[in-house]
Chain A
């Protein structure tokens, strides 16, 4: 685990660096894929940028909405770079909404656009796995195996490595798939990542629970079902 890269007086947070790198590589691949599918790469870039900006602003404003009095007293904190004062779920939903509005206004083809983003989804999954590896988050359940790693005072499943292998496999599948621009490619990548989460979450040591069930597995099952149904429906049309 290597959460901080100290360059002189500068403490660079490696997980954040991984996510930025993932965003950059993923976006470049999305632009290339858009070009291959006869889409305007610049529009794809703008769409992604709209999502990022709306997501960040939405995540911060959603957090601020929980503590209005605190931020009224210190309004400049709205612009604090601290990621612990972001509401991730709300930010994600707002990003999707903003991207949807942008697509409608630019009259973008939904299926072609989704397929353009398929490699970005796989690359971001790799970046998230690397960020987890750097920070020690998403750690594994205690286990004494030949490949266990010593983390947080115990020998554990290297769950971040499992996650990384699954994300790399998803990218490999995307690369080998015949890609027609019918929107199915994205749902295949999403289905693979959901299936991997469904399986690998069982080896995590920090799962959030809903009664005795692991929340991520329940979400993964819903996403897997949805993506399989949509992929099969769209493939027939």
Chain B
């Protein structure tokens, strides 16, 4: 460590201080420096502790892990209105997709299977079609071809895609029972096991 101290002081100090530092370092006082450094570090740990932590739920909603999910209300393919925040108490997967997106199509059967296996345990899937960059008729054909059973929503003006900072399709957000995003997976396709393990830990959380 002496070589580090010598090098650092030779960079930072003037000749006058450099001489003093070299005298100190030539003795065993450098051990004292190390001890003081650790004491200073320990004091800093105590000084910078967080007595009242910010709860995840108190943060401003943002589309990232450990933040409250930005709320939205959209209509289903059948014209029914659905609001994300009304799903509190249930685990929700928000999946942003488009009919022309290959990975979206590839992961839909797994999403459907996981939804059907877990909906009785409190799982909801909001599959939000990026309608502003898709064709509504193609989206409906896509849903019919794959016989999708979960909630399919239309985002005609891209408001939800913008709020969720959509950069790639598919993008998937796993939201816990308190409305906090716990995992974000950008891109795909996700396998059934990936989906099931993510859902499993959220469903097991009793809060």
Contact = CB atoms under 8 A, between A and B. Distances in A.
Interface of A: 3-4, 6, 9, 11, 13, 63, 66-67, 70-71, 73-74, 76-77, 80, 82, 84-85, 136, 152-154, 173, 176-178, 184, 188, 191, 195, 198-199, 201-202, 205-207, 209, 212-214, 217-218, 220-221, 224-225, 228, 231-232, 235
Interface of B: 1-4, 7-8, 11, 31, 34, 37-38, 41-42, 44-51, 53-54, 59-62, 64, 66-67, 102, 167-169, 183, 185-187, 190-194, 196-198, 200
A85 B193 contact: yes
Nearest to B51: A212
B191 to A, nearest CB: 4
Given A77-B192, A84-B183, A178-B3, A6 B167 contact: yes
Contact of B31 (A177, A199, A232): A232
Contact of A70 (B44, B64, B200): B200
Contact of B4 (A70, A177, A202, A217): A177
B48, B187, B192: most-surrounded residue (chain A CB, <10 A): B48
A206 B50 CA distance: 11
Nearest to B185: A84
A152 B3 contact: no
A84 B194 CA distance: 8
Contacts of B190: 80, 82
A232 B2 CA distance: 8
A109 B64 CA distance: 45
A233 B33 CA distance: 15
A235 B38 CA distance: 19
Main secondary structure of the interface of A (DSSP, over half): helix
Contacts of A177: 3-4, 7
B67 A80 contact: no
Contacts of A85: 193-194, 197
Closest 5 CB pairs of A and B: A77-B193, A202-B48, A11-B168, A77-B191, A4-B167
Contacts of B167: 3-4, 6, 11
B53 A201 contact: no
B45 A217 contact: yes
A153, A218, A221: most-surrounded residue (chain B CB, <10 A): A153
Contacts of A201: 48
A80 B177 CA distance: 27
A71 B191 CA distance: 10
Contacts of B50: 207, 209, 212, 214
Given A4-B186, A73-B193, A85-B197, A195 B2 contact: no
B4, B31, B59: most-surrounded residue (chain A CB, <10 A): B4
A112 B180 CA distance: 48
B49 A198 contact: no
A136 B3 CA distance: 37
A118 to B, nearest CB: 12
Contacts of A213: 45-46, 49
B192 A74 contact: yes
Given A70-B193, A202-B44, A232-B1, A214 B187 contact: no
A23 B61 CA distance: 34
B200 A221 contact: no
A213 B50 CA distance: 6
B66 A217 contact: no
Contacts of B34: 228, 232
